[in-house]
Every structure is written in C-alpha cells, then in structure tokens.
C-alpha cells in the first residue's frame, strides 16, 4: 500500500519491456477464456499502448511466443502448458 493506492508487482515476469508486452501476454488468456483472437485484439485496441504498437512487431511476438509454448508442450505433460501452446498458436495463426 502506498499513499497513492495499492501497487501490485508480478514478480514472476518482472522485467523492463515495451508498454504493449503485458497486453500481448493477456491475449492468450482471453483466447483461453473463450474469445477469438480477433475479439481479444478488438478489446485490447482500447489501450493506447496496444493501438500504437507496430503490427509487424506484434506479428513477430505472437509467432515467437507460440513457438516457445509449442516447444514447452513437447517437453512436458502438464495440461496448462498444452493449453498455452494451443492458445498462443491460435493467436499466431490469426496474425499470420
């Protein structure tokens, strides 16, 4: 708690990154919650960081993130890893 309100830090992914990265990481969870990739991106369009992000950079991010989770799913048996591989793959295919 601060005098300005509550502050939350996600230490699992604490890093310095472009302002759109956190939103891009939300896409997979929106897809996993039943949204299409297009619906997820339409919702994210309300945020200036997303709206101003370079489309080619987002394409590359989606592709690389999907590749990462696909590789992890081949190495593990946890259902959540396979879910993330499916959701990120769906987003990457949408952006391709």
Phi and psi at 5, nearest 5°, equal: 125, -170
> Is residue 88 a contact partner of residue 73, using CB atoms and an 8 Å limit?
no
pLDDT tens series, the chain, 96 aa: 788 888 776 677 677 889 999 999 999 999 999 999 999 999 999 999 999 999 999 999 999 999 999 999 999 889 999 999 999 999 999 999
- Residue 67 counted as domain residue: yes
- Residue 52, in any domain of the structure: yes
User: CB neighbours (10 Å) of residue 52?
Assistant: 9
Question: What is the reported pLDDT for 6?
Answer: 85
In a domain, 1, yes or no: no
Task: Read off the pTM.
Answer: 0.83
Q: Where in the sequence is the domain holding 83, given as residue range(s)?
A: 27-95
Rg (CA), the chain: 15
The number of folded domains in the chain is 1
Asked if 84 and 57 touch (Cβ cutoff 8 Å), the reply is no
Residue 47 domain flag? yes
């Amino acid at each position: 708690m601060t005098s300005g309100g509550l502050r939350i830090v996600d230490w699992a992914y604490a890093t310095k990154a472009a302002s759109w990265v956190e939103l891009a990481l939300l896409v997979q969870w929106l897809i996993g919650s039943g949204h299409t990739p297009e619906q997820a991106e339409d919702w994210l369009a309300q945020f200036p960081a997303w709206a101003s992000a370079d489309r080619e950079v987002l394409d590359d991010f989606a592709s690389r993130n999907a590749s990462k989770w696909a590789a992890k799913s081949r190495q593990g048996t946890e259902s959540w890893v396979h879910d993330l591989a499916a959701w990120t793959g769906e987003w990457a295919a949408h952006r391709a």
